[in-house]
Amino acid sequence: MSFGSMVFLFGFLPAVLLCYFLLPARWRSGRNGVLLVFSLIFYAWGGAALLPVLLLSCLGNWLLALLVFPGRRGRKGIYLAGILANVAMLGYYKYTGFLLGNLQALGLDITVPSIALPAGISFFTFQAIAYLTDVYRGTIPAEKNPARLTLFMAFFPQLLQGPILRYGEFAPALTDRRESSAEAAAGATRFCFGLAKKVLLADALGTIADAAFSSGDRLTMSLAWLGAVAYTLQLYFDFSGYTDMAIGLGRVLGFSLPENFNYPYVARSASEFWRRWHMTLSFWFRDYVYIPLGGNRCARGRQLLNLLAVWLLTGLWHGSAWNFVLWGLYYAALLMGEKFLWGKGLEKLPAPVRHAYALVLIVIGWVFFRSGSLAQVGQMLSAMFGAAPGGLWSGETTYYLLQFRWELLLAIPAALPVKCAVENWLRKQSGLPARAVLVLGPKALGFALLGWSVVRLLSSTFRSFLYFQF
């Protein structure tokens, strides 16, 4: 079920809120039970056939964790087997087709099976691995109640697209959280803004990107750049919009979910970009791959190898295709370069130059990410840098600029911390009008955006969130 669907907004959401808040606040396990049941319904809505995969992962990891906490005999083997089982499950559903497809391309007589990908498998598997590892390390105790662990892994606000949670941060809220009208209002407002980011901005910008990436021989240099920039903005508003909705819903229900984005497009280097983009994934790779491999505290050659491993995995996590591998390696090269070659020089450059440097590299990176094949990567990049089959400019570019001028104009300030600047300015004002705007403004705007988003939802074909595929 998508947050941007009528069934979610005007069916599932009021139902879960009514059931949740009609139970007394002191009956915490009852409220948790409501969340668990609705989370499983939420997941099964897209096809109950794949619900057992999620349940198997939840119960399997709950059981494994009970066997790997410090002090138990043979726990290392069980832990490694558990990690292997999680990776194998992810690998089977996500990478079998890719692997066999490549073997087939090499000439092997293999039939490539069609395996349905359980939604959100990359997210809940990573949460499970983190949980198992944290228990194994002794950072957190093993959860004895399987329902609580299942709720952690299946918690509907973040189940399909994150943010990636840690059980150590989530578990206390299962017993100690406190819902309040202030938090709920702030969460609901954030949800409305997130929905608008997705429906009003990302979907419109996606139309431009889709056109550019499928234009074939019509592709012009201008359309290639417009498409790449549109996709850059689309992906941000799509993914960060979902995150806003997830965090907003969490706040309504009394949970504090971690932030996933910190205005990534203000970054002045590729390294800074990754400290601002999909932060919970970056932290996950840092804590569960990079540091265990040795991190920075090893020889340069080993550091390079560690970075390469992390970014190869990051690429593959996003998708089972060569363009994702290339995208991961692209960032590996950039981060290595910034770390060991031009990073210090870069810091001496004026901020606008560094910003432009980062933005161009980010946009190019998204071309790797969005392309359907390596051939398309080559076609788009060569078009962007002058070798476009359609020349410099076409009417198609003019059309998309005119048709979506409002979204393009709005997207740029919306991707920058303009909202924070306005809020800060208002906070410094002492008068009642400023205070009223600060209190009422976001709510009124959020309500209006909700209405407008619903109208657009009614008028457009349903579109799923981009990060569902991961």
Partner 1 sequence: MEKWMNRAFLALLLAVLLAVPAGTALWSHRETTAYYENRTLAELPDLSWESLRDGSYGTDLESWYSDHAPGRTTLLELDTAVQLNVLRRPVVNDVVVNAPALLPKLDFDEYTEEAYQYSAQPIAEDFGAISAFVEGCGGQFYYAGFPEQRVYFEDLFPDYLNSHAQEAETADRVFAQALSDAGVTFWDMRQVYEELGHPAEYYSTVDHHYNYYGAYAAYRAILEKLAAQDWDLPVLTEADIDFVELPNPYIGSRNRKLYNLWPNTDRAVIGVQKDPVAYTRWDNGALSDKPLFVLPAEDYMPTTYNLYMGGDFAETVLETDRPELPDVLIFGDSFTNALETLLYASFDETHILDLRHYTEKSLKDYVAEYRPDIVLCIQNDTFYYTATGNGAVWEDAADGT
Query: Is residue 123 a contact partner of residue 32, using CB atoms and an 8 Å limit?
Result: no
Q: In terms of CB distance, is 185 or 374 closer to partner 1?
A: 185
Choosing from 68, 318, 323, 325, the catalytic residue is 318
Total length of the chain? 470
| Minimum distance from residue 436 beta carbon to partner 1 (Å) | 9
**Calpha distance 37→23 (Å, rounded):** 14
| Minimum distance from residue 317 beta carbon to partner 1 (Å) | 24
Q: 259: which DSSP letter?
A: P
Query: Is residue 53 a contact partner of residue 93, using CB atoms and an 8 Å limit?
Result: yes
**Calpha distance 316→309 (Å, rounded):** 11
**278 is known as an active-site residue:** no
Q: In terms of CB distance, is 102 or 394 closer to partner 1?
A: 394
Burial-class residue 309 by CB neighbours within 10 Å (0-12, 13-18, 19+).
middle
Quickly tell me which residue has 């990754």 as its tokens.
Answer: 274
Contacting positions for partner 1 (CB under 8 A): 1, 5-7, 9-11, 13-14, 17, 44-49, 181-182, 184-185, 188-189, 211, 215, 218, 395-396, 398-399, 402-403, 406, 439-440, 443, 447, 450, 454-459, 462
| Minimum distance from residue 10 beta carbon to partner 1 (Å) | 4
Q: In terms of CB distance, is 188 or 229 closer to partner 1?
A: 188
- For every residue of 407-434, DSSP letters joined together read HHHHHHHHHTTHHHHHHHHHHH--SHHH
Q: In terms of CB distance, is 220 or 282 closer to partner 1?
A: 220
| Minimum distance from residue 13 beta carbon to partner 1 (Å) | 6
| Minimum distance from residue 220 beta carbon to partner 1 (Å) | 11
Q: In terms of CB distance, is 1 or 383 closer to partner 1?
A: 1
| Minimum distance from residue 244 beta carbon to partner 1 (Å) | 16
**Calpha distance 327→370 (Å, rounded):** 10
**Calpha distance 304→50 (Å, rounded):** 39
Question: Two tokens at 421?
Answer: 């600047």
Amino acid 457 reads L
Q: In terms of CB distance, is 108 or 458 closer to partner 1?
A: 458
Closest C-alpha among 399, 287, 274 to residue 327 = 274
**Calpha distance 156→284 (Å, rounded):** 20
Catalytically active residues are 318
